[in-house]
Each structure stands twice: as C-alpha cells, then as structure tokens.
Amino acid sequence: MGSLSTKIVAIITAILIFVSLYLIFGYARVEGTMLEVQKIFYYHVSAALTVFVAFGVNCVFSIKYLIQRKSNDDLLAVAAAELGLIFCTIALLSGPIWARYAWNTWWNWEPRLTSTLILWLMYVGYFILRSALEEDKRGIYSAVLGIIAYLDVPIVYYAVDIWQGGLHPDRGTKWNLEATMRHTWMVALLAFIMLFILLLIVRYRMKKTQARYEILRQKHLGEAL
Amino acid sequence: MKIIVVISFLVVLGLFFFATQVPITLTDDEVAKAVSETSSELPVDEEVLERAVRLSVEKLEKGQSTRLKYLAAAYFVIWLVFILYLLRLGQQQRELDKRLSQLEQTSDDSPSTPDEE
C-alpha cells in the first residue's frame, strides 16, 4: 500500500474518530439507567469487536504462513496480533471502570470477562514465545499458537449464551439500541476498525523495514568476517 | 509525529470536556425563581419546597459528577493506551532509521574487497 493510500486511510480515520466523538457526546441519547456512564459502551464494545477482527487477521495470515512459508505473512500476523493485544488491553481497562459503576465491582469472574482475560493472556504468551525462540522456528511455532489462541474468540463472543447467569447483557442488545445510540456505535466501530487498518499498515511496514535491516546487518557481518 | 500525537490528544481531551458540560448545575437564583413560580401554583410552604428542591439538585449534581468521573476515566485510559502505543512506535521507528543509517555509513566506510577492486 503506497504512502498516498496510507494518508487517505489516516485522514478517513481521523475524521471518523472526531465524528464518533461528536456523536457520542452531542447526538446519542443519554441512556435511562446508567445515564452518562453508558457512553463508555461506544468505545469499549468497539474495541472488543476490533479485537476479534485483529486476531482474525492474525489467524488467517498464520494459516497462510504455515502453508506458503512467506515471511511477509508472518510479519502481517505479528502486526495484527500486536494490535489485537492493544485493543484487548483497552477493552479490559475500560470495562472495569464501567463495571465499577454498573455492578459495583471492578472485576468479576463472570464468563465473558474471564474468557477475554484468557484471550489476552494467550496473545501475551504468543509474544513471549516469539521472543524466546530462534528465528527459524519463531514463525512456525507462533503461527500454530496464533491459530490455537483464536479458538478462544468464539468462546468470548458466545460466553453469554454458553454460560448463563453472566453479568454482560445478551449479544443482541447492541443491535436493539435506540436509533441515535445505534448509529453512534456503528460510527465508533467503523472508526476503530479504520484505526486498526491504519496501525496495521504502519506496523507491517515497520516490521518489514526491521526485517530488511536484519538481512542487511547479517550480510554486512558476513562480509566483514 | 510526536507533536501531531500530542495535539490530537489535547484536541480530543478538549472536545471531551467541552461535550461533557451537561447543564445540570443550577444557580441559587434559578432555584429561587423556580420555587417561587411553583409555590404560587401549589398550596405548599415555600421554605419546605425550596429545601426539597435544593436537596434534589444537590443529589442530582453529585450523581452526575460521579458518573462523569467514570466516563472521563474510561476515555482517558482508552486514549492514553493509544497515545503511549503511538509514541512507542515513533521511538522504534527513529531507532530503526538511526540503525539503518549507521549500517549504511559503515558499509560506505568499510574497505572494498579485492574482487570489487
């Protein structure tokens, strides 16, 4: 992707973020039960859904890497996993603030929270594994772990249905919102997905430059010896 | 890069504080005016009514202030994670550029091999 396309993606993302902020505070109706605190929903849920997209990209490119063994697929998978972890961190940090007001507790070991924490820990493990392995094994082992870790995504998504009695609302709740709230959430979700795409492009390019640097360095060291 | 990130953060923060100025805070004059208007319509003691209104307003303000603190904390955390990540990316990019230029410089300075000569 050329730098012009990246600039266009960056501009669209910036506009969407500002529009989403305006919609959250200036357009969306204040919810009746939680009042202003409910406005955390727009970015919290958007971050959580972007996590699924990011780890989905990681899973797809991990499979592709295992089949074709192209280093670019591995780099893209790592970049997506890193961003997934960032968005997951955001969901895990903003959630407890909301929970403190809504449930009167910072944390609760209910199904969705627990499975999300497990997901986060698995991808932390993904990076620990990568840093611990030799370069030739790094791609293969981390791709396998990436695919296994992705199995937790449907568990997180369907946690409310699988284990009844959780504190999170039903999956369908977000689609049955009042019109202004639904529109706002859709824009916020789109803004986060665009932000993910933008950061993925930036991170992938950096990873590629880093890989090129390593090749040049090895070559240089070989010549020096 | 750093300037853009900081400016974006300040703009977002400013927009947030501007947007969260929900007009619940009532002045004493506004309360007194509302009480006097209501007491002329209803056969109740103006003093009791004013006390009830003041207590209700205080309760509403306190509730809203608490809710806005939670809201501000959540948005602050969300943007802080992004800002820190972007700053880290910027730092990594600068280090990478520096190492690449050093490598290129070393390659230029190194004596050429006999084959090249």
**Tokens 């209700």 belong to which residue?**
B56
B92 to chain A: closest CA residue:
A206
Chain A hits for B92, CB-CB cut-off 8 Å, are: 206
Domain ranges (residues) in chain B: 19-100
Q: Can you give the pTM of this predicted structure? A: 0.84
CA distance to partner chain A, nearest, from residue B2 (Å): 15
Tokens of A75: 């780099």
Q: Nearest-CA neighbor of B65 among B29, B25, B28?
A: B25
**In the structure, what pLDDT confidence band is assigned to residue B114 with cuts at 50, 70 and 90?**
very low
Residue A37 with chain B: CB contacts under 8 Å: 67, 70-71
pLDDT, residue B19, reads: 56
Taking CB atoms and an 8 Å limit, are B89 and A206 in contact across chains?
Answer: yes
User: Residue B8: pLDDT above 80?
Assistant: no
Nearest to B57 by CA among B83, B26, B36: B26
The residue of chain B with its CA nearest to that of A91 is B78
**Amino acid identity of A100?**
R
The range of the structural domain enclosing residue A206 comes to 3-224
- B-chain CB neighbours of A35 within 8 Å are 63-64, 67
The runs of H, that is alpha helices, within chain B are 2-19, 28-41, 46-109
The CATH number of the domain holding residue A173 is 1.20.120
Å between B49 CA and nearest CA of chain A: 26
- To the nearest whole Å, the CA of A43 is away from the closest chain B CA by 8
- Chain B: nearest CA to A44, how far in angstroms? 9
Q: What is the pLDDT of residues A65-116, one digit of tens each?
A: 999 999 999 999 999 999 999 999 999 999 999 999 888 899 988 888 999 9
Higher pLDDT, B116 or B60: B60
The verdict on a CB contact (< 8 Å) between A206 and B96 is yes
DSSP state of A35: B
Of B20, B78, B92, the CB nearest to A43: B78
Total number of domains constituting chain A = 1
Secondary structure (H, E, C), A42-98 = HHHHHHHHHHHHHHHHHHHHHHHHHHHCCHHHHHHHHHHHHHHHHHHHHHHHHHHHH
**A155-188 pLDDT, tens digit each:** 998 888 878 766 677 766 666 788 999 999 999 9
Cα–Cα distances in Å, from A103 out to A98, A108, A166, B76, B100?
8, 9, 12, 21, 52
Q: Which residue has the tokens 């969407």?
A: A16
Segment A6-54, tens digit of pLDDT: 889 999 998 999 899 889 988 888 888 888 889 999 999 999 999 999 9
Does residue A130 contact residue A78 with C-beta atoms inside 8 Å? yes
Query: Nearest residue on chain B to A38, judged by CA atoms?
Result: B71
Pick B74's closest partner by Cβ from A21, A94, A224. A94
Does the beta-carbon distance from B77 to A94 stay under 8 Å? yes
